[in-house]
């Protein structure tokens, strides 16, 4: 009865919100806002029934999930609309608040009896919700066996919302509700997406959502047709959900899997097609939306220039010149370099070890090594036994985890551009050059200062967390603790197999580290601290001995 009461209450809240929206914005925005959701519910509900989810998910469960999604979407959209109108609220604080909101809601939903097979503690529910929202992938419980289908849906939604960010998600729905963005809403979106444009940012948010869903759907289709027989059921709907779950988890760089041993499970251990599909989804998800769109515009420009090669006037009249941005070049060069270096290092270091010896073909060894280079950069999927890796590869994995993905992406870490600027700064300092150049551009000193601050703060947070955990978990080795903290801060999800052994206090520390790593310690602190206006005067310069 209580369960049906929640469903009825959710309907009442929806109706109340709909009429508030209609009264405030008249019927045209009201219809524009309600129709997509009604379509989503009707199509989704019919799809669940048509696919035969009656055994694993009854009608009331499907109705409950649909209403929760609808209710939260409307409430968050309306709340963010009011929040955007407030003054003196910095984008980083809005972002942090949206993640906290998602974590709290996710914790409550995962604690429901219908979400788990045997019930979990509040700490474990909060840990799983935080890991999903921060797209980390660290898991205390076996995701496939400890959670029901309802729990899997909740985790999947948390991953999707956490990967896209609530700012993008609410802006996407704001596009339907209002069709336009306020000045401050544009400011928040521009800051999160790392976009230089300040107009039509709702359109950009729509492109982000559509691109994400397209990549995830494409990945799910390939995974579906590459799957062997599933151990817990081989029906169409079970294979379809399995494929979509792993595609979303891959593109969002989450690393959650419905298999007990992740991709190292015997079911997929030698399925190199799925390894490659997930590996490329990890790379694309970790590049960042600004990079994707810049590359797409650049390719489009090259295509039209070739198409109108014999009518230059028409071409240059209708299409403006597009080039790869400095950020795109730096991210692409750094990403390719890290993948190649990690790939070769993994292949050489593990060639004569059991990690690669069980893969008899050269192609299998190459694929596993490639995945071992890609996954540590904020993904968390593993195709090998992590506890069986050689010490050099473990340290390489820690290094790759720390660097992470690229800015404005679904991944974490200090980011590839930060690492690249730091390396360039070291090189220019060693060669005695005062100004930093890359790709025939001079890098602003403010970018160098920001990179130094991000690196320093990350090491301080990681070091402090390791010290605290070494006190709380005295039986664990330093390497295991360090690996776990680097994985949590960089929102990776890889582990040497000790996550479930942490005490509740240790889990709470990792929850904080995952949250800080997802929001970004630099962004979080800069949002909390008041910014001072620069003085109108300058002091005399002097030098400090640094050796």
Question: Does residue 191 register a pLDDT over 90?
Answer: no
145 CB-near residues (< 8 Å, 6+ apart) = 117, 260
Question: Does residue 219 register a pLDDT over 80?
Answer: yes
At 35, the pLDDT band (50, 70, 90 cuts) reads very low
- Predicted pLDDT at 242: 93
3-state secondary structure of 267: coil
Question: Does residue 131 register a pLDDT over 50?
Answer: yes
At 310, the pLDDT band (50, 70, 90 cuts) reads low
**Inter-axis angle of helices 362-374 and 272-287, nearest 10:** 30
pTM value is 0.84
Query: DSSP labels for 400-425?
Result: HHHH-S-TTSS--SS-HHHHHHHHHH
Highest mean pLDDT among 208-212, 308-312, 465-469: 465-469
Least confident of 60-74, 272-286, 316-330, 424-438: 60-74
Q: Which residue has the higher pLDDT, 313 or 117?
A: 117
Question: Does residue 229 register a pLDDT over 50?
Answer: yes
- Region 403-427: what's the mean pLDDT? 91
pLDDT per position as a tens digit, 493-508:
999 989 999 999 999 9
Q: How many CA atoms lie within 13 Å of 231's alpha carbon, on the beta-carbon side?
A: 9
Distance separating alpha carbons of residues 158 and 160, to the nearest angstrom: 5
At 56, the pLDDT band (50, 70, 90 cuts) reads very low
Distance separating alpha carbons of residues 128 and 102, to the nearest angstrom: 12
Q: Give φ, ψ of 438 to 5 degrees.
A: -155, 130
Least confident of 46-55, 64-73, 368-377: 46-55
Distance separating alpha carbons of residues 378 and 405, to the nearest angstrom: 6
Question: Does residue 260 register a pLDDT over 60?
Answer: yes
CB 456 within 8 A of CB 525: no
Query: DSSP labels for 135-204?
Result: T----SS-HHHHB-HHHHHHHHHHHHHHHH-HHHHHHHHHHHHTSS--HHHHHHHHHHHT-S--SSHHHH
Residue 437 Cα distances to 326, 336, 440, 513, angstroms: 11, 20, 6, 34
Say if residue 217 is exposed, middle or buried (CB neighbours under 10 Å; 0-12, 13-18, 19+). Answer: middle
Query: DSSP labels for 99-128?
Result: HHHHHHHHHHHHHSGGGBSS---HHHHHHH
Q: Which residue has the higher pLDDT, 281 or 37?
A: 281
- Predicted pLDDT at 383: 93
What average pLDDT is seen over the chain?
Answer: 80
At 524, the pLDDT band (50, 70, 90 cuts) reads confident
Structure tokens at 283: 């790379």
**DSSP state for residue 85 in the 8-state scheme:** T
3-state secondary structure of 441: strand
Scored b (16 or more CB within 10 A) or e, 402-417 reads bbbbbbbbbbbbbbbb
Distance separating alpha carbons of residues 282 and 405, to the nearest angstrom: 9
- Predicted pLDDT at 433: 85
314 CB-near residues (< 8 Å, 6+ apart) = 308
Structure tokens at 136: 């980390």
Q: Which residue has the higher pLDDT, 466 or 114?
A: 466
Q: Give φ, ψ of 267 to 5 degrees.
A: -65, -40
Query: DSSP labels for 366-409?
Result: HHHHHHHHHTTTTT---SS-GGGS-HHHHHHHHHHHHH-S-TTS
- Predicted pLDDT at 7: 47
Question: Does residue 250 register a pLDDT over 60?
Answer: yes
- Predicted pLDDT at 12: 52
- Predicted pLDDT at 184: 55
Sign, CA torsion 191/196/201/207: negative
Distance separating alpha carbons of residues 388 and 85, to the nearest angstrom: 53
At 168, the pLDDT band (50, 70, 90 cuts) reads low
Sign, CA torsion 278/341/410/139: positive
At 181, the pLDDT band (50, 70, 90 cuts) reads low
């Amino acid at each position: 009865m209580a369960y049906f009461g929640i469903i009825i209450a959710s309907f009442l809240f929806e109706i109340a919100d709909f009429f508030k929206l209609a009264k405030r914005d008249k019927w045209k925005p009201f219809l524009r806002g309600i129709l997509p959701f009604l379509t989503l519910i009707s199509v989704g509900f019919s799809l669940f029934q048509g696919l035969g989810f009656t055994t694993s998910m009854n009608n009331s469960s499907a109705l409950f999930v649909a209403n929760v999604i609808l209710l939260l979407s409307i409430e968050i959209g309306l709340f963010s609309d009011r929040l955007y109108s407030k003054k003196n609220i910095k984008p980083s604080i809005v972002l942090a608040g949206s993640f906290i909101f998602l974590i709290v809601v996710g914790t409550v939903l995962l604690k429901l009896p219908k979400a788990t097979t045997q019930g979990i503690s509040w700490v474990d529910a909060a840990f799983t919700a935080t890991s999903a929202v921060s797209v980390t992938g660290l898991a205390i419980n076996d995701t496939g066996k400890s959670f029901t289908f309802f729990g899997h849906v909740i985790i999947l939604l948390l991953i999707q919302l956490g990967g896209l960010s609530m700012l993008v998600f609410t802006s996407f729905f704001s596009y339907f509700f209002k069709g336009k963005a306020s000045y401050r809403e544009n400011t928040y979106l521009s800051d999160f997406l790392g976009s230089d444009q300040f107009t039509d940012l709702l359109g950009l948010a729509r492109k982000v959502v559509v691109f994400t869903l397209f990549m995830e759907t494409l990945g799910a289709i390939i995974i579906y047709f590459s799957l062997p027989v599933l151990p817990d059921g081989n029906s169409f709907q079970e294979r379809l959900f399995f494929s979509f779950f792993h595609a979303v988890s891959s593109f969002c760089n989450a690393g959650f899997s419905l298999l007990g041993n992740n991709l190292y499970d015997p079911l997929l251990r030698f399925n190199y097609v799925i390894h490659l599909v997930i590996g490329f989804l990890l790379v694309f998800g970790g590049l960042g939306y600004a990079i994707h769109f810049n590359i797409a515009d650049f390719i489009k420009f090259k295509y039209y220039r070739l198409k109108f090669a014999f009518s230059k006037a028409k071409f240059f009249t209708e299409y403006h010149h597009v080039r790869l941005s400095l950020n795109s070049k730096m991210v692409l060069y750094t990403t390719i370099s890290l993948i190649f270096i990690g790939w070769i290092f993994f292949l050489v270091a593990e060639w004569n070890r059991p990690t690669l010896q069980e893969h008899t073909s050269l192609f299998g060894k190459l694929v596993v090594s490639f995945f071992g280079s890609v996954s540590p950069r904020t993904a968390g999927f593993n195709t090998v036994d992590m506890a069986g890796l050689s010490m050099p590869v473990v340290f390489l994995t820690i290094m790759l985890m720390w660097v992470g993905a690229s800015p404005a992406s679904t991944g974490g870490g200090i980011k590839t551009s930060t690492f690249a600027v730091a390396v360039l700064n070291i090189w220019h300092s060693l060669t005695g050059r005062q100004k930093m150049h890359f790709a025939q551009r001079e890098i602003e000193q403010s970018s160098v200062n920001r990179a130094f601050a991000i690196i320093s703060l990350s090491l301080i947070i990681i070091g402090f967390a390791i010290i605290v955990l070494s006190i709380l978990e005295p039986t664990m080795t330093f390497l295991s603790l360090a690996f776990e903290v680097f994985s949590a801060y960089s929102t990776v999800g890889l582990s040497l197999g000790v996550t479930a052994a942490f005490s509740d206090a240790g889990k709470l520390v990792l929850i904080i580290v995952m949250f800080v790593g997802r929001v970004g310690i630099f962004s979080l602190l800069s949002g909390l601290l008041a910014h001072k206006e620069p003085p109108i005067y300058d002091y005399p310069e002097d030098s400090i001995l640094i050796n």
